[in-house]
Structure 1
Amino acid sequence: MMDWTERYRPTALSEVRGNDKARDALREWAETWDDHGEAVVLYGAPGVGKTSAAHALANDMGWSVMELNASDSRTRDRIERVAGGAAMNQSLTSTGRQLVVLDEADNLHQHKDRGGASAMTSLVKAANQPVVLIANDFYEMSRGLRGACRDIEFRDVSRRSILPVLRDICRKEDVEYESEALETIAETNDGDLRGAIKDLQAAAEGRDRVTEDDVATGSRDRTQDIFSLLDAVLKEESPEAALRTAYDTDETPDDLLQWVEDKVPKVYEGDEIADAYGYLAKADCWLGRVRATQNYTYWRYATDNIAAGVAAARQRDRDGWTRYGGAPYRSTRDSTRDYVAERIAESAGVSTATARREIMPFLAVMTHHCTNRELTVRMAARYELDTDHVAFVTGSGESTNKVQDIVADAEELREQAAVDHSGGAFAGGVAGAEADAEDDGEPEAEQVAKATPGGGEENDDNGADAEAAEEDDQQAGLGDFM
């Protein structure tokens, strides 16, 4: 069954419910954009229709849409290449306009974003195309970015505005209903239109009439919903049952991916981790296709991999309580994971996403609980990892003597390599080649080639090498220190 939040997404601004003032301000911004050329920030709680309003506006104006998510596209390089290219160039549409939509713009301020906030600020000031930023918390954005944009607040959608939407959906789906049932859903989700539609779909599934008894009472607890999903996927349910739980969870597939990706190492071990991240990588590809085509029917394939796929990777069921921790967006664990991925990506010459989803799972398996001590020391030295980073990758406690000793040995290894200018400290590594290049004056590119297995004069087929490297880039980080 297609997600009703997508099936009934507004296609025109006039269909956006519950935020008439914000809707009118957004239309006025678009109609006068040629005069002022400013970007705009739409901010407010999740589920109130910010992103839907942006897409509806584009339909009304005859603009094409380029949508990016700050969680995936928040580095300076990515923003300047993708969003910048769209914002600075003329669209192929008849209007000559393309609306650039950046979701989760309030996630651009983290230190790991490597200049994402300043790059976006520069972009919105110089853009030749209209730009809409979407944020849950306006004041989580940098001051410079806030000052460079107009701002429009989307308020919580009231129960009175939610009820007509639910009635209209029931008529279109040919589902009879008790008025009390819809009132309960609207009351439970007061402020969250998207959550109300999801609850209605869950209550109506397999039925031609929705009664008050079919509707779960009590206030919505999204965190509990997520934890129930994590238990279902990672610990106890079959792939089919896990998928049903995912459909009942009030999160988009993008959010589900980040939650499951973040919590997999807390439950899975060894091959389970590698197999699970394989399914998550496939899900990420489907989500990329959604962002590229705006075809939200691909969401179901992403959810299939996130829920059923990861559950299928489980080799045994678990019971008992698991300390999952908080949301992945702002957690310390998330920052640790991203730091490790960035260090691997920088060293291996791959994207951060490739490092996180293709290389880190293998490192976790090979260094699990630091059983291969020598390999763990080399990893820590190569990527300049501290105790919390080593503990994250290996699954060990960062306060243990074992992890602390490994980090100390890694530091000594780095210092010795610096003193000796030795490329042999990391087999196949680039660091030694760069040091040697400073001594003998040879071009750095030649030194790197000689330091790489198969490099030098005996392997001058650069085109073939580049093609092979592109096919196997997920293994590049492994060879850097093994």
Structure 2
Amino acid sequence: MTDWTEIHRPSTLAEVRGNDKARDALREWAESWPDHREAVVLYGSPGIGKTSAAHALANDMDWPTIELNASDSRTKDVIEQVAGEAAKSGTLAQGGSGRRLVILDEADNLHGNVDRGGTRAITSLVKEAQQPIVLIANEFYEMSKGLRNACRDIEFRDVSTRSIVPVLRDICRQEDVGFEKEALRKIAEMNDGDLRGAINDLQAIAEGRDTVTEDDVVTSERDRTTDIFSFLDTVLKEADAQEALEASYDVDETPDDLISWIEDNVPKDYEGAELARAYRSLANADRWLGRVRATQNYTFWRYASDAMTAGVAAARSGEKGGWTRYGPPSYWSKLGRTRGARDTRDDVARAIATTSGVSMSTARREVLPYLETMTHHCKNRELTVSMTAAYDLDADHVAFITGSGADTNKIASIIEDAAERRETAAVDASEGAFDPGETDSSSASGDEQGDDQAERAEGATLGSQPADGGDDASMDEAAMSAEDEEGARSGEEEDANDQQTGLGDFV
């Protein structure tokens, strides 16, 4: 059976239901595009008609479309080759005014290695494009700040039950399916603003039936995710303790992320004693999250969720009205700014752990702080050189530990001296493996001496009486000579072992 959401997709903007203000703003953007040449972001919950509106706009403007969606590989190369060429071509043979519409669906879902470089490529694309571009997103603030600032934004709101019912009625008439008004109303209410979900439910119920009745509709709510901003509104302004806890079940965030959202935004609505009570509940939730991390027992999450939702809602003195501009946790942006420093710290800890035979955690907590203090600004130069040689550190690592600039002459000279020290230590520990080879004559002489020693040793082991009738004194003299040679070799081995000091104990 063909998908009804595709068959009955709006063909013009006039047929888009439930978002009249957003629809008009989108039309105005398209008609005035030659004046501003900005890209536009359509954002809102899934299933409310954002992509349909973009295609309807293309039909109205007679613009052919180029579309990339979540199923496509959206690396930098793909974006530049597919969407980039289309967007940067100023004149095309087909379409009104030689234009085409570039549509990028799920623009808030560019993450990880699959979309490597995609965000930067899109940001560059929307700034340089010679063709109109529409980006589709469910979560506006999941997009990078640079990309958001480069685009105009239009919000699509959830479609009301009152607007969904006429759409379902028109579809039933076109599909020649009878219906009861109450049945369509129940389907609309069950989907709570999701027009696409309501059409899918209608198709599933109508399959094999001539008429859709109220009894045919299963009165259960669709499993639908609540966006984080609606959740914050519910918890911080309206809900009681029980409602706040239940609202958290529909949010697609882990307790670790959820507490960061609440912690950063609660001061925007709470103050005084109620803010203090809210932070006490958040502190309690944080303790439970700490137990989860320490024990890996995720059943403790329920207690953390209770404290951060029900506890914060109960701290409120009464319901609050108005609109609040919530934002993502500042902790996340701080992590982004310090990522380079944290990566360098981990590289240093890894070098210390490898050399010293300790864990990276121990190296970070118990070794690195002392090194930072002892080598601060390279004031103890000898110790800094020894540290650099011991752990085989590069300029960035030494600069991180000492707090000095990586490109300074001071750091460069320390790296050079440390390299020489490592080379010297390697040669000393080689036991002469890098010494130049001997000449042929000396080798031959050595061979002859070796043969003489072998003969004497062989003679000493033939028995208590020598073959040529020598006396006991000569045998004693040979034995003493052999002992002296053995002692000399033992002394040489001890000297060689003393030279192998290792590089771990450099202080």
Which TM-score applies when normalising by structure 1? Answer: 0.45
TM-score, normalized by length of structure 2?
A: 0.43
Larger radius of gyration, structure 1 or 2? Answer: 2
